[in-house]
Chain A
């Protein structure tokens, strides 16, 4: 026996050394091959490369030969291919204005893929596409649009777009069987076109809600969402907890498979052993040891790989994958050891059932433990119960002292007081989220603005959806609330309080993306579908002498979800 061991030992040692060397060399090689050593996710590389040029406008502009493009082939290409529809100055004729197309990647994506009624320009070479895109971005687009950043775009996206298209751009459901499309299916610049033209139930956003810089910023953000940065691995469709929950059950299923393997034929399921005795099977199964050895070697390799990848700061897949290998290898080896390399013992024992109350022990005393325990407790309790008055007082004192601690709860929060009023005061101006006052010229082309009282752009309960509705009559008693056709409705859902962020232009509905409550704008935002029961409160508007939109006063009723004394 001992004579064979050293040979195995040497084999194992060689394997260990090989695995260690591999684990050290591999990450280093990967690193040398140019993988990003920073902890910034390398998995975002596809997205980053797609949008790298546009992600920071500063680098984009400095990297673009502006002067060269102006005089180069870009101008000619533009004149030959683009100006027919977009106009000589990109002002828009049949096709939409190009004033916001300030980033070459946006233009190039649209030229190569096409969208809405624009064809894909497949006849152009990549160099020609690049030249034309540079020309549009630097010479045609408005200079203001070039200052847009992807981060600003993200903020606007989550305020105006994600209600329908979701924060990851994967679309959403609307009323009456309609759906908002996933933005991953279209080139990012098509979002610009949609903002300018409006699409079905999508209202116009360009120049009504977004200025040209904001349009460009939103388009940049849409571009990052084409392939969302995913340092965490496979994105599971970017639709949030629904697929994550499914994956969790798949994980549980795999664990059940492990369990089935572990319990298979174990614990004397078919075995028979005399009570109180340990039975060892006559012929222990001659299970080989090498599976456990492989498991242990995998564990070593995984652990070393984990450390190596951790040191070079590699991505989550390599760090997590190697660590998982380590756990799985060691776990398999131990489980296999306990399952197949341990003699298949079956133990038989007794459940601790109480004997029948009448049963007497071998020495004649009662074995009724609960009865004995009860007697003992009764003896002890008599110390208290003998002094009845003192005992009553004791219970009372303990209760009073205990209840007195409830006073601490008063520090936890003030009494609710803000459910009936908001930050709207008489003559308060309506401003955008950036604090810009809104004039009677706003929303000439339709659309929606999220408005706040001036000086209170952080007041969650005061947010309103401002709409310019043509041909919709105000409700009786509210004739003076909507000057020039401007309607403002509370944006806090009367069901569960989410922001009512979806606006369907054709259907004239406001929807809440949380539970799909649907409010009819033609009928004072009365709920027509979903779980909300009360209409969205309307804010009475006025137009002051300088042409700014103002509130006449606060809402006439409490905004947001219901509570028991709402009408009290």
Chain B
């Protein structure tokens, strides 16, 4: 049988004599001095569990966002200068609009594969945020935030905050009707802050809304400032993870001193690279088959246009719901006004962020636990914490659903005021009900398990 030449050369490419690998290794050590380090870290241990992949999903979404984002930068024009659309989408031909919106239409209709890239970018952003929230709650429910990982919890929350903020900026850039409506609301929220509100809004937006300088400003922040900060914090997050090593679920031979898992090379590296491509594949499929943010249907932003079903992307939806449900609580203090918008839109996210940032210390104080932990707990181990987390999740979920109340009312022919009242009740009551229920169930199971373990 004749030797296949391709086969032979491929075999040779990978089955080098040991000398060749030594040669490469020597070159590496000579040029970097890190041969020993690399050798040790090739065997870096990664414990395996499906729930550890949320962070990886987020990381890979970021990679895809950067790649697709750079591509879109080549076509997007960050300018509010007025133009008239003359492209190939007929229902907008001859319509006056900003350069920014015009360039998004051009990217969507007249740049090959431009629409796919744009849609992949947007889907990646939505899945990114979803993965981060799932990651956050995985940490919460398993106690991964305890010492020595408190700092990394704070870094992770900072990352989440930056991602959400940058998502809002990305939503705002195309200058379509939803973009502009969102910015108008953001301006009003800034304006509602006591004392500094009006001038802070003017400073950030470059004057009184709407301003022509805003889009270039958001652009610089969206593509440079925040992604740079995310990249830096991500490096710190991953660096700490690397130094401290990943947490692990309890199991045989596993304790706070001993870690058991898959070595990085070759198995884990192959799997995670494959996973990167699976994430990319799924997001590309979504970008190809599921239409997202069809800005040509929304039209260009003009301050006198508006639309029903004006929702933000899902990760801002909880604030949208809070804004919709908070009654008209304008407060007058000695001739000054505290607008009702301040409570749900400025105070609530501050309180939520503050609580989450402080959580590892609150938990440590409450549990009198200042030890170093590398083995995770399960939700059943800590019924109280699990109840708090379930209550928090319920709270966010009701707020999020309320953010789409007009969509539900119109779609299912419900009465919006009734739905609003129901959602207000559920938002206040349901978190406690769910929390107590979860506590009762997990407390019982906890005791049962404890009984089985103890003689």
The reply to whether chain A is a binding partner of chain B is yes
CB distance from B175 to the nearest CB of A (A): 14
Chain A neighbourhood of B303, CB < 8 A? 460, 463, 499
In the bound complex, CA of A273 to CA of B253 (Å): 8
The answer to whether A56 and B90 have CB atoms under 8 Å apart is: yes
Residue of A nearest to B108 (CB): A231
Residue of A nearest to B413 (CB): A179
In the bound complex, CA of A221 to CA of B245 (Å): 59
A76 at the interface (CB under 8 A from B): no
Residue of A nearest to B120 (CB): A320
Chain A neighbourhood of B341, CB < 8 A? 495-496, 531, 561-562
A548 at the interface (CB under 8 A from B): no
B431 at the interface (CB under 8 A from A): no
The answer to whether A232 and B115 have CB atoms under 8 Å apart is: yes
B35 at the interface (CB under 8 A from A): no
Q: Tell me the residues in window 247-274 of chain B with beta carbons closer than 8 Å to chain A beta carbons.
A: 251-253, 256-263, 266-274
With a 10 A CB-CB cut-off, give which of A40, A235, A259 has the most chain B CB atoms: A259
Residue of A nearest to B198 (CB): A416
Chain B neighbourhood of A175, CB < 8 A? 416-417
A247 at the interface (CB under 8 A from B): yes
In the bound complex, CA of A226 to CA of B403 (Å): 26
Say whether, besides A333-B274, A338-B269, A499-B304, A325 and B257 are in contact (CB < 8 Å). Answer: no
Residue of B nearest to A234 (CB): B290
Looking at A97-105, A151-159, A369-377, the stretch in contact with chain B turns out to be A151-159
A233 at the interface (CB under 8 A from B): yes
Chain A neighbourhood of B362, CB < 8 A? none
Residue of A nearest to B247 (CB): A351
A567 touches which of B46, B49, B56, B335 (Cβ 8 Å)? B335
Q: Tell me the residues in window 24-64 of chain B with beta carbons closer than 8 Å to chain A beta carbons.
A: 43-53, 56-57
With a 10 A CB-CB cut-off, give which of A234, A328, A419, A561 has the most chain B CB atoms: A561
A446 at the interface (CB under 8 A from B): no
A177 touches which of B116, B258, B415 (Cβ 8 Å)? B415
A398 at the interface (CB under 8 A from B): no
A346 at the interface (CB under 8 A from B): yes
The answer to whether A224 and B91 have CB atoms under 8 Å apart is: yes
A438 at the interface (CB under 8 A from B): no
B444 at the interface (CB under 8 A from A): no
The answer to whether A347 and B410 have CB atoms under 8 Å apart is: no
Interface code A239-279, partner B: CB below 8 Å = 1, 0 otherwise?
11110111111011011101110111011111111010010
B366 at the interface (CB under 8 A from A): no
In the bound complex, CA of A8 to CA of B11 (Å): 13
The answer to whether B304 and A463 have CB atoms under 8 Å apart is: yes
The answer to whether A320 and B4 have CB atoms under 8 Å apart is: no
Looking at A83-91, A124-132, A309-317, A475-483, the stretch in contact with chain B turns out to be A309-317
In the bound complex, CA of A3 to CA of B1 (Å): 7
Say whether, besides A331-B276, A342-B267, A450-B304, A259 and B53 are in contact (CB < 8 Å). Answer: yes
Residue of A nearest to B244 (CB): A352
Chain B neighbourhood of A316, CB < 8 A? 113, 115-116, 119, 287-288
B208 at the interface (CB under 8 A from A): yes
The answer to whether B317 and A245 have CB atoms under 8 Å apart is: yes
Chain A neighbourhood of B311, CB < 8 A? 240-242
Looking at B187-195, B433-441, B445-453, the stretch in contact with chain A turns out to be B187-195
Interface code B175-197, partner A: CB below 8 Å = 1, 0 otherwise?
00110010011011101111101
The answer to whether A347 and B262 have CB atoms under 8 Å apart is: yes
With a 10 A CB-CB cut-off, give which of B3, B178, B274, B341 has the most chain A CB atoms: B274
How many residues of B sit at the interface, in one of the four size bands? 35 or more
A389 at the interface (CB under 8 A from B): no
Q: Tell me the residues in window 317-372 of chain A with beta carbons closer than 8 Å to chain B beta carbons.
A: 317-321, 323-339, 342, 344-353
The answer to whether B284 and A9 have CB atoms under 8 Å apart is: no
In the bound complex, CA of A244 to CA of B244 (Å): 37
The answer to whether A327 and B244 have CB atoms under 8 Å apart is: no
A417 at the interface (CB under 8 A from B): yes
Looking at A23-31, A110-118, A166-174, the stretch in contact with chain B turns out to be A166-174
Say whether, besides A328-B282, A513-B308, A252 and B127 are in contact (CB < 8 Å). Answer: yes
The answer to whether B185 and A167 have CB atoms under 8 Å apart is: no
B158 at the interface (CB under 8 A from A): no
CB distance from B168 to the nearest CB of A (A): 12
Say whether, besides A6-B4, A236-B290, A248-B126, A495 and B340 are in contact (CB < 8 Å). Answer: yes
Say whether, besides A244-B126, A413-B203, A349 and B291 are in contact (CB < 8 Å). Answer: no
Say whether, besides A158-B302, A258-B278, A244 and B185 are in contact (CB < 8 Å). Answer: no
Say whether, besides A6-B3, A501-B306, A516-B420, A561 and B339 are in contact (CB < 8 Å). Answer: yes
Residue of A nearest to B343 (CB): A531
Say whether, besides A248-B127, A255-B127, A347 and B340 are in contact (CB < 8 Å). Answer: no
A437 at the interface (CB under 8 A from B): no
In the bound complex, CA of A247 to CA of B285 (Å): 12
Chain B neighbourhood of A228, CB < 8 A? 294, 297
The answer to whether B284 and A327 have CB atoms under 8 Å apart is: yes
Chain A neighbourhood of B91, CB < 8 A? 55, 150-151, 154, 221, 224, 229
A551 at the interface (CB under 8 A from B): no
A244 touches which of B94, B293, B296 (Cβ 8 Å)? B293
With a 10 A CB-CB cut-off, give which of B88, B284, B325 has the most chain A CB atoms: B284
The answer to whether B307 and A158 have CB atoms under 8 Å apart is: yes
The answer to whether A565 and B48 have CB atoms under 8 Å apart is: no
In the bound complex, CA of A267 to CA of B48 (Å): 5
Looking at B229-237, B326-334, B376-384, B388-396, the stretch in contact with chain A turns out to be B326-334
The answer to whether B328 and A413 have CB atoms under 8 Å apart is: no
B7 at the interface (CB under 8 A from A): yes
Residue of B nearest to A491 (CB): B304
| Sample of 8 further A-B pairs with CB below 8 A, known A39-B109, A242-B309 | A152-B94, A162-B299, A328-B278, A331-B281, A345-B263, A413-B204, A460-B210, A497-B184
Name the 3 nearest CB pairs between A and B, nearest first: A320-B288, A172-B308, A338-B270
23 A-B pairs with C-beta separation under 8 A:
A6-B3, A158-B177, A163-B306, A175-B417, A229-B297, A251-B127, A254-B282, A255-B57, A263-B50, A268-B253, A317-B288, A319-B288, A323-B288, A327-B278, A331-B281, A346-B262, A347-B262, A351-B374, A412-B204, A496-B323, A516-B406, A531-B341, A564-B338
